[in-house]
Amino acid sequence: MPQSLITGAYPATRLRRVRQHDWARRLVRETKPSPDDLVWGMIVHDGKEPRVSVKSMPGVDRLNVDEAAKAAVRARELGIPAIAIFPHINPARKNEGGDEAVNPEGLVPTVIQAMKAAAPEVGIACDVALDPFTSHGHDGLLSDDGYVLNDETVSVLTEQALIQARAGADIVAPSDMMDGRIGAIRTLLDEEGYDNVMILSYAAKYASAFYGPYRDAVGTASVLKGDKKTYQMDFGNTEEALREVAMDIQEGADMVMVKPGLPYLDIVQRVSSEFGVPTLVFQISGEYAQIKAAAAQGWLDEDKAIVETLSAFKRAGASGVITYFAERAAQLLGK
Ligand code: PBG
C-alpha cells in the first residue's frame, strides 16, 4: 500500500479540513484541465448553407467552408490548440469505393486550406477512414460478400492521408481500425516529403453504441449496413487494446487515442501509464448527446458536467480530449 494511504488516522487527521474553502480546494487539486487540453470536434459539409443543425447533437451544426474558417479563428481566440474535422458530403457523391475520399478538390482538402489560411496557428486533424464517403457507410472497401477488406482498404487510406497532408493537415488520424495502416501511411508520407505530418492513431477504438449521433451528423446512419464489429474492438477486451496500441506505436504513431471516452477510462488509464506516449481520448457524440439531453430536461448542469468529465479524462492520464464541447469548455476553463 502506498505510504500516503497508511499515514494519518482520525481524529488527528480530518480529510475534510482541506475541503472547507474554495481556495483550499483549488490549492490541493491534483488535476486541472485547461484549454490547452482541447481538440475541437467539428462537423463540416459541402452545402451552401452556412450552418445546418444536427438533430441528435443539439448545439452542433454542420459548417460550410466559410463558417469552418471562422471557427478556426474562434479556436485561436479561445486558445484551443487543434480542430478535428469530420465531413458530411452530398449523398449523390457517395459510391461503393468511397472515391470522394481521395478527391484532392473534395470537401476535406478545401476545408483544411480555408482553415489554415484563416488561422495557421491552429492545428488541423483529419479523420482517415472511408465511412463518410461510401454508399454503405463502412470505413473500408467491401468484398462481394460484405466483408470489409483490410489490405485493399489500407491502400486507399494511404492515398486519403496523403491528400490531407498535401492540403495542409498537421495531423492525420486513421479511425478505421484496419491492420497495418499506420505503417503504410507513415511510409507513404515520408516518401512524399511529409515526414513532419503527425499521425494520431485511433488505436483502441471499440464498436460502440455511443457513435449513433455522429453517424447522424456525417450522414452514415441511414446508409450503414450491419455493424462494425469485424474491425472495431469488442467492448469486453482490455489486453487487445494494449496490443493495438503497441503495434501502432511500433508502426510510427505519434499519438494514440482511446475511443469512446467516459465508459472506457480504465483503458485510458492503462494505455497512458503503460506506454507513456501522448494519449488522447475522444468524448464522442453519444457522450455529448447524453449530457445535452439531460441538461435540456433540467436534470443536470451542463457546464458542471463538461468540467467534471474533462477532469475525469485528465485524471485517468489523458494528454488531451477531442470534444464537441470544446468552444464552451475553453470559455469555462480559460477563466
Ligand atoms: C468512423 C468514425 C467514427 C467516429 C469518428 N469517425 C465512428 C463510427 O462511425 O464507427 C465517431 C465519433 C463520434 O461518435 O463522435 N471512421
Q: Given a cut of 90, is residue 8 above it in pLDDT? A: no
Nearest C-alpha neighbor of 282 from the set 192, 225, 210, 330: 210
**127 Cα: distance to centroid of ligand 1 (angstroms):** 9
- Report the distance separating Cα 287 and Cα 263, nearest Å: 9
pLDDT at residue number 5: 65
**281 Cα: distance to centroid of ligand 1 (angstroms):** 13
- Report the distance separating Cα 227 and Cα 224, nearest Å: 8
**85 Cα: distance to centroid of ligand 1 (angstroms):** 11
- Report the distance separating Cα 63 and Cα 55, nearest Å: 14
Question: 60: left (phi > 0), else alpha (psi -120 to 50), else beta?
Answer: beta
pLDDT at residue number 2: 64
Instruction: Specify the amino acid at residue 200.
Output: L
State the DSSP H helix or E strand holding residue 88, giving kind and residue range, or none if neither. strand 82-88
pLDDT at residue number 4: 63
Q: Ligand 1: which atom is nearest the Cα of residue 324?
A: 15
For 264-318, the pLDDT digits (tens) are 999 999 999 999 999 999 999 999 999 999 999 999 999 999 999 999 999 999 9
Q: Ligand 1: which atom is nearest the Cα of residue 211?
A: 14
pLDDT at residue number 335: 72
Q: How confident is the model at residue 3 (pLDDT cuts 50, 70, 90)?
A: low
CB 56 within 8 A of CB 216: yes
- What CATH class has 36-333? alpha beta
Q: Given a cut of 60, is residue 235 above it in pLDDT? A: yes
Query: Ligand 1 atom 7: the closest Cα is on which residue?
Result: 211
CB 329 within 8 A of CB 323: yes
Q: Given a cut of 70, is residue 1 above it in pLDDT? A: no
For 191-222, the pLDDT digits (tens) are 999 999 999 999 999 999 999 999 999 999 99
- Report the distance separating Cα 22 and Cα 163, nearest Å: 50
pLDDT at residue number 54: 97
Domain ranges (residues) in the chain: 36-333
Nearest C-alpha neighbor of 285 from the set 86, 36, 50, 38: 86
Q: C-alpha cell of 184?
A: 503504410
Ligand 1 pocket test, candidate residues 44, 284, 325, most atoms within 8 A of CB: 284
**10 Cα: distance to centroid of ligand 1 (angstroms):** 49
Query: What whole-number percentage of the chain has pLDDT above 70?
Result: 98
- The CB of 216 under 6 Å from ligand 1? The reply is no
pLDDT at residue number 7: 75
Average pLDDT over residues 86-100: 98
CB 62 within 8 A of CB 52: yes
For 111-156, the pLDDT digits (tens) are 999 999 999 999 999 999 999 999 999 999 999 999 999 999 999 9
- The CB of 181 under 6 Å from ligand 1? The reply is no
**24 Cα: distance to centroid of ligand 1 (angstroms):** 40
Instruction: Specify the amino acid at residue 263.
Output: P
Ligand 1 pocket test, candidate residues 40, 60, 131, most atoms within 8 A of CB: 131
For 32-70, the pLDDT digits (tens) are 999 999 999 999 999 999 999 999 999 999 999 999 999
- The CB of 284 under 6 Å from ligand 1? The reply is yes
Mean pLDDT of the chain: 97
- Report the distance separating Cα 260 and Cα 62, nearest Å: 21
Kindly give the interhelix angle for 239-251 and 181-191, rounded to the nearest 10 degrees: 10
Instruction: Specify the amino acid at residue 323.
Output: T
- Residue-wise burial string across 243-260, b where 16 or more C-beta atoms lie within 10 A, e elsewhere: ebbebbbebbbbbbbbbb
Q: Which residues, at least 6 apart from 273, have a Cβ–Cβ distance to it below 8 Å?
A: 317
- Report the distance separating Cα 293 and Cα 58, nearest Å: 8
**Catalytic sites, residue numbers:** 205, 259
- Report the distance separating Cα 208 and Cα 64, nearest Å: 28
